[in-house]
Amino acid sequence: MSKPTKTDLKKRALMAVRDYGVNLTLFRNAMSEWAGLNVTDMECLRLLFQKGIATPSELSRFTGLTSGATTAMLDRLEKAGLIERRPNPNDRRGTLIAPAPSSGEKAAAWFTSARTAQEELISSYSESELEIIANAFERFAKLWDDERKKVQKDP
């Protein structure tokens, strides 16, 4: 069998990135259903875990939901004990949304199997391979962030 060309490898890499994205979306959908939440609820939680705190307006922009649908989502997440609403010290009429203290542990437990599988996979690579993998994912993350900003009115 002949050695693949750079064109072949580029095509294979881009197909792998596509498949990664599709399979990650399918996994997230399955996890949301398994946890009894919808996909948007899980995306909201993911953003809150990353940011720590957000306003309902920020969450509405992030999820693409209307203000009413955002309120309903926050009601579901609060009822499930995953978020808490706090007064906004900069706007006495406003509210800040934060993950509930126990929500990180609860969500982490949902992903134990996936984290174990990721650790096993990533541990199978050498340091030089990990450097390439980390670089590629960091650059793809920036690429998607840049592309998002191009199409969003309010990045």
pLDDT tens digits, one per residue of 49-100: 999 999 999 999 988 899 999 999 999 999 989 999 999 998 888 999 999 9
Mean of the per-residue pLDDT values of the chain: 92
What's the confidence (pLDDT) of residue 53? Answer: 95
Q: Is residue 22 part of a domain?
A: no
Of 18, 10, 11, 83, whose CA–CA distance to 46 is shortest?
83
Q: Is residue 151 part of a domain?
A: no
pTM of the complete model: 0.74
Q: Is residue 51 part of a domain?
A: yes
Tokens of 79: 């009822």
Q: Is residue 28 part of a domain?
A: no
Total domains in the fold of the chain: 1
Q: Does residue 154 carry a pLDDT above 60?
A: no
d(CA 76, CA 106): 16
Share of the chain above pLDDT 70, in %: 99
Q: Does residue 27 carry a pLDDT above 80?
A: yes
Q: Is residue 140 part of a domain?
A: no
Alpha carbon separation from 18 to 49, 69, 89 (Å, rounded): 25, 30, 43
Q: Is residue 91 part of a domain?
A: yes
- Domain range enclosing 50: 34-101
Q: Is residue 93 part of a domain?
A: yes
What's the confidence (pLDDT) of residue 155? Answer: 45
Q: Does residue 132 carry a pLDDT above 60?
A: yes
Q: What is the CATH number of the domain that holds 38?
A: 1.10.10.10
